[in-house]
Amino acid sequence: MSLPIDLSERAVESFDAICAQINERFGEKYERRFEKNTIKTLELISQNPYLYQASKFDPTIRRALIDKISSVFYEVRQDRIKVLFFWDNRQEPMF
């Protein structure tokens, strides 16, 4: 059973920002590759929500590595997956 995925407004904004940065630095080809990898990761999360590591600070929030430069943070809810935001791993750590 797969759960539907719901993107927060912050998730959409952070995804768009990462895509724009990838396009600017590496070109459209790499941006499309990132988008494809993101879709694959979200499909995996939908099918198996507990596949990825839980956060040390809040066990209800999980982090999935999309590729070496980006991750997605999400929360598993009873009836859906809430994508909270995307993170560029090259930034300063959040915690």
Q: How confident is the model at residue 1 (pLDDT cuts 50, 70, 90)?
A: low
What are the two backbone dihedrals, phi and then psi, of residue 3, each rounded to the nearest 5 degrees?
-100, 145
Residue 89 has what pLDDT? 86
Residue 91 has what pLDDT? 73
Residue 76 has what pLDDT? 94
Domain 5-88 in CATH: superfamily? RelE-like (3.30.2310.20)
pLDDT at 94 over 60: no
Residue 93 has what pLDDT? 61
- What's the predicted TM-score (pTM) here? 0.90
Residue 92 has what pLDDT? 65
Residue 28 has what pLDDT? 96
73 neighbors 5 (Cβ within 8 angstroms): no
Tell me the per-residue pLDDT of 37-92, one tens digit each, with 9 for 90 and over. Answer: 999 999 999 999 999 999 888 889 999 999 988 999 999 999 999 999 999 988 76
